[in-house]
Amino acid sequence: MKNIKVFIVFSFACLTNVFGQVGINTADPQEALHIAGSDSNIRIEGLNNANNANNLGGVNNYNMMVDTNGNLSLGLQSGLLSSESKLPSTVTVQSTALAGLNSGELYQENFTLSQRALVVITYNVAIEFKSYDGSTKLKDGRAKIAHNYFYIGNGSTADTSKAYGMTSIVYSNYIDDAADDSVYNSHSEIISLEPGDYSVHMQGAVFGGGLTTEAAFSGIFGNGDRLDISVIYL
């Protein structure tokens, strides 16, 4: 009978440890796991540089992620996804016959996110203003406008319901020796996106100069463009 009583007491003590609070360096744990001490830390070797591809070592620290089930993992390292000139040749967008608004897609750049992130998209586009057929410099003194902006797509098709990064520049000239240099539009936009496949669809648009036939003109985009895509993983 004594042996049975000892076994019951021992079993009760084990259950208390299993379902109670565990303390390390403390006899009075305040949570399910309480590690006391001013220099206390936790080491998970499955997350170190030798065992985890997302841990690049060095002196850097890496973000810890937790999923819907409470599982811990290392987040991806934030940084530059791509940085390059996107126009292999210039793209011409002509105004309508009466110098009305007209637009066209300049290029598309695809990227993939494997976790939620803030995406920073920065672009720079050069524009040269010419006659409607692109053969001569403009010297009519009328104000011309060139817009740049972009849509976000799913890797193939642009979602045109929302434009990002809109910026514009106005050009006017009325003398014979018009400058040959281009003017530039540039902008940076921060967008919060979930994991998935995405695409940037850069647009160019021209408008202005008066509603007459001779006021129509061309905007020649390129010869000085750049697109940078950076991510800040959350």
Q: Are 127 and 167 in contact (CB under 8 A)?
A: no
What totals of helices (H) and strands (E) does the chain contain, helices first? Answer: 1, 14
Give the rounded percent of residues in the chain with a pLDDT score beyond 70: 90
Residue 78 vs residue 205, higher pLDDT? 205
Residue 10: pLDDT band with limits 50, 70, 90: very low
Give φ, ψ of 10 to 5 degrees: -65, -40
Average the pLDDT over 171-182 and give the result: 74
What is residue 4's predicted lDDT score, i.e. its pLDDT? Answer: 52
Write out the two tokens for 100: 């009305």
What is residue 180's predicted lDDT score, i.e. its pLDDT? Answer: 63
**This prediction's pTM:** 0.76
What is residue 187's predicted lDDT score, i.e. its pLDDT? Answer: 97
Residue 181 vs residue 229, higher pLDDT? 229
Residue 7: pLDDT band with limits 50, 70, 90: very low
Q: Are 144 and 210 in contact (CB under 8 A)?
A: no
Residue 106: pLDDT band with limits 50, 70, 90: very high
Residue 9: pLDDT band with limits 50, 70, 90: very low
133-172 residue pLDDT tens: 988 888 888 899 999 999 999 999 999 999 999 999 999 8
Please state, as a whole number, how many other Cβ atoms lie within 10 Å of the Cβ of residue 181: 9
43-95 residue pLDDT tens: 888 888 888 877 878 877 777 778 888 888 887 788 899 999 999 899 999 99
> Is the pLDDT reported for residue 176 higher than 80?
no
CA–CA separation, 103 and 105 (whole Å): 7
Measured over the CA atoms of residue 148, residue 152, residue 156 and residue 158, the dihedral's sign is negative
Beta bridge partners of 159: 152
* Amino acid residing at 206: V
Residue 213 vs residue 75, higher pLDDT? 213
Give the rounded percent of residues in the chain with a pLDDT score beyond 90: 47
Query: What is the maximum span of the chain, computed from C-alpha positions, in angstroms?
Result: 115
Domains and CATH numbers, the chain: 2-74 (no CATH), 79-233 (2.60.120)
- Burial bucket for residue 148 (CB in 10 Å: 0-12, 13-18, 19+): buried
Whole-angstrom CA distances from 164 to 60, 63, 168, 178 are 33, 29, 13, 32
What is residue 65's predicted lDDT score, i.e. its pLDDT? Answer: 78
- Average pLDDT of the chain is 86
Length of the chain: 234
